Amino acid sequence: MARSAAPQSLGNDSEPSIGDLVTQAIRDVSQLVRCELALAKLELRDDAKRLGLAAALLAITAFTGCLILVLLCFAFVYGLVTLGIWIWAAFLIVAGVCALLAALAVLIVIVKVRGVSGLRKTRQTVQADLALLKRDEDTPARPAVEAG
């Protein structure tokens, strides 16, 4: 038996049936969930790219920095020795300077990693959607089509 494409209601032809409203609500909620998941995927992809780039640049910088730092440390030690400082004291001074540079690099990495959004937009839209679904029961629902 074939059904007509138009929704059938029992009494009033101007208002959709409860079944039609439930079907439409389920369709809207499932579409909303799909959109939220798509937004979450986009944000995660952006965050992963940002973290991947930061990790790659950090590795390249660390390797090159280590090579340069070794050469500069020896030059610094020899410069301090020519100023008349004992060799062991010159090496301790250079080690202290290297420790300060390492601490500075760690602070820079911490500042860069804090830029990750952590799905901020997705959380906001989900909270807004939940607020719409949890509206007060005292508030009467507006009809989809004004009778007139």
pLDDT for residue 140 is more than 80: no
pLDDT for residue 92 is more than 80: yes
How many Å apart are CA 61 and CA 105, to the nearest integer? 10
- pTM > 0.75: yes or no: no
Over residues 21-53, the pLDDT tens digits come to 999 999 999 999 999 999 888 989 988 999 999
How many Å apart are CA 117 and CA 109, to the nearest integer? 16
How many Å apart are CA 116 and CA 82, to the nearest integer? 48
Least Cα distance to 133 among 44, 36, 9, 16 occurs for 36
